[in-house]
Structure 1
Amino acid sequence: MYAEERQQSIAREVASEGRLSVAEIAERYDVTTETVRRDLTALEQLGLVRRVHGGAVPAAALTTLETAVGERDVANTAAKERIVRAALAELPPAGASVLLDAGTTTARLAAMLPTNHRLVVYTHAVPVAARLATNPAVELHLLPGRVRTATQAAVGAATVGAVGLLRVDVAFMGANGISLGHGLSTPDAEEAATKRAFVLAAERVVVLADASKVGVEAAVRFAELDQVDLIVTDDAVDAEERSALEAAGPEVVIA
């Protein structure tokens, strides 16, 4: 296979799969990792992929566009289920308080909260609240604010102000992107402000994010990596990236 043919094929696979590591590409095409890095550099210069630590993502990974909740909920479902089951081990003792961020993975966590473990739960996300409303062990508090259509979550000054009055034991967070250079990020500034308030309100911050979010940078940073205690992700994350994230601060658990 000629270099141009290989590069075109790599670009198609990155676009299709959302993320490929250097090691994966080298194995698939039976070339050295140095050759892969040269291919990725060439593809990035053409605007076809974007290089991240340990691999590549589609060029559109750094974006201000936002996918609606319904579309995100059908992506990486098996990984999200494993992540949620691992996250259940991070619940605080009975009687403690938690913040649940908006997102499809946090909504799955809400649905799986035990019905015999008493918790005080604060959330700004309508889908999360809907799943918790019938849980007899949960004292549910729905935070105020304007509800965005894309995320079905309250945002704005009222939301940030309400969160600023809280001090909770654990915040379970989602993120659109996690990277060494940009920290944790999301496309919308008002969502970022709310997430930032969540991080500051919690004694412990646990981020639930499948591997497709690692190495991605959305437009607005809401937390540095050293503000996060734990990232729960899946086994598709690159081993080098996991080590680099842990060196920056948070523990990384593979579900």
Structure 2
Amino acid sequence: MFAEERYNRIAELVASEGRVTVAQLAARFDITKETVRRDLDLLEKDGLLRRVHGGAVPLASASTRELSLTTREERNQAEKARIAKAALTMLPAEGSIVLDGGTTTGNLAALVAQEPVEQRLIITHSIPVAHALIGSGQQIEFIGGRVRGLTSACVGSGTAARYRSFRPDIGFIGTNGVHAHFGLSTPDPEEASVKAAIVQSARRVVVLADSSKLDEEALVGFAALGDIDALITDVQPGPELTSALADADVDLVIA
């Protein structure tokens, strides 16, 4: 294969697969990793992809890029439903539970609403999550603040401070990225502040993240892997992330 042909094929792979690694490309094209890195550097200069640690992603995968809640609800629906069902088995029969904003936690809220337990207190700052639970018989503590239109969740210093004043039994958190080195991250600083407050306050922290979030980094980190207790996802993470989760003593659940 000529270099130009390989160059074009790599650009196509990044666009179609969403993320490629240097090791994968080296094996696929039977070339050295150094050659792959040079190809990726050239492709980035030509504006055809964005380099990330260990590989490349499409140019649109910027650290601040964030899809609307409506758009995210249409993606990976089956995987999110499986993750929510696995999370449901972790809910205590009584006590206090935080449900973060997001589509997967929204799936969990819908399941919780079908099995109301009066001894549970559900705490949330997400309008869709609260709406799913209203009328279900659950006790609900809604944490207010400025509503962020993109996620329909409350943010701001008051929202974060309110969470820091609690000590819930378990918190279910969404994230835009789960990375071996950068930990958990999200594009918006105010969303990150609220998520960090939940992680710091909950006695047990469970992350709900479908496979599109694995090995990804968004702009703002809000927790290290060592800050969480469990990750529920739909596929086995890659070797590096799997090893990092094990080193951080994080329970990995494949739904």
Contact preservation (8 Å) 1:41, 1:51: no
Which stretch has the larger CA shift, 72-81 or 239-248?
239-248
Contact preservation (8 Å) 1:178, 1:213: yes
Contact preservation (8 Å) 2:168, 2:202: yes
Unaligned stretches of 5+ residues in structure 2? none
Matched with 1:123 is 124
- DSSP-derived class of the 1:12 partner: helix
Residue 43 of structure 1 pairs with residue 44 of structure 2: no
Contact preservation (8 Å) 2:230, 2:252: yes
Aligned runs of 1:125-144 on 2, under 5 Å? 125-136=126-137, 138-144=138-144
TM superposition shift of 1:127: 0.8
Aligned-partner Cα distance in 2 for 1:36–1:127: 46
Aligned runs of 1:189-228 on 2, under 5 Å? 189-228=189-228
Matched with 1:184 is 184
Aligned-partner Cα distance in 2 for 1:237–1:219: 21
TM superposition shift of 1:56: 4.2
Aligned-partner Cα distance in 1 for 2:139–2:37: 50
Q: Deviations over 1:12-37 (max 9, x none)?
A: 2322332345676577x4x44x6467
Greater relative contact order structure (CA < 8 Å, 6+ sep): 1
Q: Deviations over 1:112-161 (max 9, x none)?
A: 1142444210000011111111322x211111101000110001122112
Unaligned stretches of 5+ residues in structure 1? none
- DSSP-derived class of the 1:150 partner: coil
Matched with 2:108 is 109
Matched with 2:63 is 63
Matched with 1:78 is 78
| TM-score under structure 2 length normalisation | 0.87
Aligned-partner Cα distance in 2 for 1:120–1:37: 55
Aligned-partner Cα distance in 2 for 1:69–1:37: 40
Q: Deviations over 1:172-194 (max 9, x none)?
A: 00111121222111111111110
Aligned residues: 249
The change in CA–CA distance for 1:206 and 1:7 in structure 2 (over 3 A counts) is farther
Given residue 71 of structure 2, which amino acid in structure 1 is its aligned partner?
A: E
Aligned-partner Cα distance in 2 for 1:116–1:229: 25
TM superposition shift of 1:10: 2.9
Question: Over aligned residue pairs, what C-alpha RMSD do you find?
Answer: 2.3
Percent of aligned positions with the same letter in both sequences?
A: 44
Contact preservation (8 Å) 1:11, 1:49: no
Which stretch has the larger CA shift, 223-232 or 18-27?
18-27
The change in CA–CA distance for 1:220 and 1:71 in structure 2 (over 3 A counts) is same
Aligned-partner Cα distance in 2 for 1:10–1:210: 25
